[in-house]
Amino acid sequence: MTRRTDDGSGIVTRKVALQILRSVYQERRMLSHLDLTAGLAAPERARAERLAQSVLRHTGRIDKLLSHYLERRPHPAAQNILRLGVVELLIDRSEAYGVVNAAVAIAKQARPTSGAAGLINAVLRKVDQEGHEIWAGLGPQTLPVWLRKAVGGAWGEAATRAIEAAHEAAAPIDITLRDPSAQPSFGERLPTGSIRLPRQTQVSGLDGYDEGAFWVQDAAAALPARLFGEVTDARVLDLCAAPGGKTLQLAAARAKVTALDLSPARLRRVDENLKRTGLSAQLVSGDVLEFSEAPWPMILLDAPCSASGTIRRHPDLPFVKSAREVEALTKLQMQMIDRAVSLLETGGRLVYCTCSLLPNEGENQIKAALKRHSDLQVMSIDAAALGVDPAWISAEGGLRILPHYWAENGGLDGFYMALLQKR
């Protein structure tokens, strides 16, 4: 592989950041599916990724700011050069001379942007002179129109603004301990038991990583598996299990776990995670909708969803997911719930969860499931035992978590979970 290096001007690094942006905005590709930084030296790769993520995280606010200076939007490639310049000037507070020169040089190198080099020069100079104040007055805007409408309709304007602020602030790193009673020498223990680390922590360098004493898992994502309570020796079917955070929790709590996922590649990650942590589970590659082995006393269904609760970790999501896609996922969740209920034994319990901000993927799924299945009931959640605020329990008895909860401690991923029992 040819190694691309920067000559010190940062041009190559910025161009890679711009390629990443084009892939997300124009091709609707997820950051996790891109490999555009291959060949860059490690510090340059990290910088390109950080720059692109920062632009994605602040796109709404950046575009609002730029609209002060643009009568109409330039070519998308020129808009991306401007967006990158805004991040460098207003967030990174880099020296303006270098930022503007690099932006202009990049613009001149390609056809669709060369004609906009003068405009880019003028706009970025203005942004440098007066942008800070306008930026501060604009506030975060991280949700696309369709999602903002749905989130605003569900949680109100003030909460939606707080959620967008949480998205811009990004997320710390949370880990789950294999032995919850262990006392690690790092991080801060949250009321839920997860250990919270600063964002820049190199997790693989921490004491206990090689021995598998913990794994990375958002504090909210660590709650659904705990809704069952005691699981020692219980047979638990973990549906949609990969990459395996909840499988590991259940296995660590001594359940006999069968973990099923559609994706063999993602299932390999469950296997790797089990090996690293020295835990075991039976792995099954297959479709929930076709799985028929039954009955089970406990089933966890972590259904595929919009993942809108994880935007603070994945700022590319708003540009990749569409309302139509989420509608299709909502139907799939309903079918998966029906399948899971059919696999439960009488008296058996089902935990349903999604990392979504949307009631249609959470509360409304449970309300609809109760109407379809007269033998299903919601069981109460013990907020104190989980270490969460009892006010987070929703009307139908589920647990609703939004990203601005515990904002002063770094927030939480948006999540919904409910515990059901088949009578």
Ligand X SMILES: C[S@@+](CC[C@H](N)C(=O)[O-])C[C@H]1O[C@@H](n2cnc3c(N)ncnc32)[C@H](O)[C@@H]1O
Return the residue of 5, 263, 342, 346 that touches ligand X, per CB under 6 A. 263
Return the residue of 288, 326, 329, 419 that touches ligand X, per CB under 6 A. 288
CA distance 4 to 38: 9
Asked if 304 interacts with ligand X (CB under 6 A), we say yes
Asked if 326 interacts with ligand X (CB under 6 A), we say no
3-state secondary structure of 176: strand
| Closest chain position to ligand X (CB) | 240
CA distance 381 to 4: 54
Q: How far is the CB of 405 from ligand X (least distance, A)?
A: 20
Tokens of 343: 């696999």
Smaller CB distance to ligand X: residue 107 or 240?
Answer: 240
Span interacting with ligand X, options 40-48, 175-183, 257-265, 378-386, rule CB under 6 A: 257-265
Asked if 262 interacts with ligand X (CB under 6 A), we say yes
Residue 293's Cα: distance from chain center in Å?
32
Size of site (CB under 6 A) for ligand X: 17
Q: How far is the CB of 413 from ligand X (least distance, A)?
A: 11
Give the contacts of 364 (CB within 8 A, at least 6 positions apart).
Answer: none
Q: How far is the CB of 414 from ligand X (least distance, A)?
A: 13
Using an 8 Å Cβ cutoff, are 378 and 397 in contact? Answer: yes
Tokens of 393: 């329990």
Span interacting with ligand X, options 22-30, 52-60, 102-110, 235-243, rule CB under 6 A: 235-243
42-67 vs 117-138: helix crossing angle, rounded to 10: 80
Return the residue of 86, 197, 213, 241 that touches ligand X, per CB under 6 A. 241
Span interacting with ligand X, options 137-145, 258-266, 308-316, 356-364, rule CB under 6 A: 258-266
Tokens of 349: 């319990």
305: annotated active-site residue: no
Neighbours of 30 (CB within 10 A): 15
Span interacting with ligand X, options 26-34, 135-143, 254-262, 397-405, rule CB under 6 A: 254-262
Tokens of 67: 């609209």
> Of 240, 305, 353, 355, which residue is the catalytic one?
355
- 197: enclosing H helix or E strand: strand 195-197
Q: What backbone phi and psi angles, to 5 degrees, belong to 77?
A: -70, -35
Q: How far is the CB of 124 from ligand X (least distance, A)?
A: 40
Asked if 244 interacts with ligand X (CB under 6 A), we say yes
Asked if 261 interacts with ligand X (CB under 6 A), we say yes
Smaller CB distance to ligand X: residue 79 or 194?
Answer: 194
3-state secondary structure of 419: strand
Question: How big is the chain, counted in residues?
Answer: 423
Asked if 314 interacts with ligand X (CB under 6 A), we say no
Q: How far is the CB of 224 from ligand X (least distance, A)?
A: 8
Written as one letter, the residue type at 100 is V
Asked if 242 interacts with ligand X (CB under 6 A), we say yes
- DSSP assignment string, 10-43: -HHHHHHHHHHHHHHHTT---GGG--TTTTB-HH
Asked if 227 interacts with ligand X (CB under 6 A), we say no
Return the residue of 50, 266, 268, 367 that touches ligand X, per CB under 6 A. 266
- Which has the closest alpha carbon to 102: 123, 117, 112, 119? 117
Q: How far is the CB of 217 from ligand X (least distance, A)?
A: 7
3-state secondary structure of 301: strand
Residues that bind ligand X (CB under 6 A): 240-246, 260-263, 266, 287-289, 302, 304
Residues marked active site are found at 355
